[in-house]
Amino acid sequence: MADKKPQNRVAEAEGETRLAPDPFTAVLPALAALGAIASIATINWAAQERTPDRSRAKRKAGTALRDLETCCLGLQEIFRRFQRNPRLFAGEGAPASSPLKFGVHGPRVGADSARLFQQLINDVASMLVLASQNAFDVMSAVEDGEINAPEELFFGFGEQQERLNKLIQARATLKASVDTGAEVAVRLTELVRELKKHRPE
């Protein structure tokens, strides 16, 4: 009987391993969820062109803001989990200069890491849907006068939007994308909390 291949013996010695799914399939949707929240910046000028037949939010502004804050906190935790697992999500072990590109990050991981990946994919998918809907409802509330915030606050959302755009434009590394995403999530949480203070009584 032929001897087993060397890589099989290594796998047996270290425990079962498998090729991890591409981390950008988790990181990019998480960045997109942040982008959905940062897009609140656009309402500052888009509201000037509102039409009578525009879509209206089905929820009160207070509810939408509370749910959006929950999304921001959820995204903070997702990016922290990315950072706590750098081999899976932050490019550890891959060339440091590898750009924002599918197919260049795929370490072999154990069963626990594979399960973690799928859990995070599910969490990110849920957060993307919720962030998009909540951000839309908040923008509708601004448009309808239920939130009356100063321009400077919307500029703050715009600054975070620009930080995310630069990641794409610069084809940032996986680590830079994760670290910037974590910082943006914290800042967006602060901005949403500030928005909560600008609801007319």
Query: What would the pLDDT profile of 85-94 be if each residue is shown by its tens digit?
Result: 887 776 665 5
Phi and psi of 110, rounded to 5°?
A: -80, 175
pLDDT over threshold 80, residue 123: yes
Q: Which of 177, 164, 31 is nearest to 91 (CA)?
A: 177
Model confidence band, residue 95 (pLDDT cutoffs 50, 70, 90): low
Q: What percent of the chain has pLDDT over 70?
A: 72
pLDDT of 103:
62
pLDDT (0 to 100) of residue 56: 59
**CB neighbours of 181 closer than 8 A, spacing ≥ 6?**
27, 30, 31, 34, 75, 79, 82, 164
- Comparing 180 with 6, the larger pLDDT belongs to 180
Please tell me the predicted confidence (pLDDT) of residue 161: 96
Give the separation between CA 102 and CA 114, rounded to whole angstroms. Answer: 18
| Contact between residue 128 and residue 181 where contact means Cβ atoms under 8 Å apart | no
Closest CA to 36 of 151, 144, 150, 125: 125
Handedness of CA 148, 151, 156, 158 (dihedral sign): positive
Predicted confidence (pLDDT) at residue 122 exceeds the cutoff of 90: yes
Contact criterion met (CB below 8 Å) for 62 and 178: no
**pLDDT reading at 36 higher than 80:** yes
CA atoms within 13 A on the CB side of 10: 7
Least confident of 82-96, 97-111, 124-138: 97-111
Average pLDDT, integer, range 7-11: 42
pLDDT digits (tens, 9 = 90+) for 127-166: 999 999 999 999 999 988 898 899 999 999 999 999 999 9
Residue 84 reports pLDDT greater than 50? yes
Which has more confidence, 96 or 17?
A: 17
Using the predicted structure, report yes or no on whether residue 77 has a pLDDT greater than 80.
yes
Mean pLDDT to the nearest integer, 93-110: 62
Does 2 or 17 have the greater pLDDT score? 17
Residues 6+ apart with CB under 8 A from 45: none
Q: Which residue has the higher pLDDT, 86 or 193?
A: 193
Q: Provide φ and ψ at 101, rounded to 5°.
A: -160, 135
- C-alpha 134/C-alpha 74 separation (Å) is 13
